[in-house]
Amino acid sequence: MSSDMLPNENTELMRLNKFLSDSGVCSRREADRLISEGLVVVDGKTAVMGEKIDVNAEVLVKGVPIKRETGKVIIAVNKPVGIECTTDKSNPDNIVDFVNYPQRIYPIGRLDKNSQGLILMTNDGSIVNKILKGSNYKEKEYIVTVDKPITEEFVRKMESGVEILDTVTRPCKVTQTGKHTFNIILTQGLNRQIRRMCEKLGFRVQKLKRIRILNIELGNLKKGSYRELTKKEMDELNSLID
């Protein structure tokens, strides 16, 4: 790098994908896709993969100016059935428009359209990566209703692991709570995992509600509402994912 390209001591540089993630535009992975497709422009020039930028640079994504959000946000949302955990604004059921938060935020992970309950949303890309990293065994708890009476064999097989998606699910904790209902605590997040596990064992999920992610509980949060995490929750969450 030539001397005239060196940043001065007051310049703060950041990887472009992190800038977009921190701004709440999308995840880093999605940012890399946008950059590779030539949809990101920095100071009038098409961005390149791995680029570092001045945090005060003019950044456009699909022609829309992006401002870096300096305050990190994380909220708990009680997602109703019918809302999709996508940032795609062309989808009329996208969760971003549904929540209508005053800053750009996006969901941490997914909760399928036919399921309800707790989903976390943030503008902090670093916390997304830590929570979603599959090898870290982060707990998520659900209440599930199925279409026929639950048996001891069903509980045993669910807990020990079920073969789906060319793998066997991790051992998990299952507690029967009623004739057709059970609680399940997972430490992985395969696509439609609980529904697939139940179907493999001859049961069909009628209702699925997530009530906890790590230390964050849904509690009595009303369906369709959101709340900021408390300082205590944030401190506990950070200690669990660091």
- CA 7 vs. chain centroid, Å, equals 35
> For the stretch 36-64, what's the b/e string if a residue is b when 16 or more beta carbons lie within 10 angstroms of its beta carbon?
eeeebbbeeeebeeebebeeebebbbeee
SS (H, E, C) 148-163: CCCCHHHHHHHHHCCE
Cβ atoms of residues 49 and 32 within 8 Å: yes
Report the 10 Å Cβ neighbour count for 107. 23
Tell me the DSSP string of 212-232.
Answer: EETTEE-TTPPTT-EEEPPHH
Catalytic residue among 32, 93, 112, 166: 112
Query: Two tokens at 93?
Result: 């059921």
Please say if 112 is a catalytic residue. Answer: yes
| Dist CA 178 CA 150 (whole Å) | 8
| Dist CA 118 CA 217 (whole Å) | 8
| Dist CA 69 CA 229 (whole Å) | 18
| Dist CA 115 CA 144 (whole Å) | 10
Computed from CA positions of residues 32, 34, 38, 44, in that sequence, does the dihedral angle turn out positive or negative?
negative
Active site residues: 112
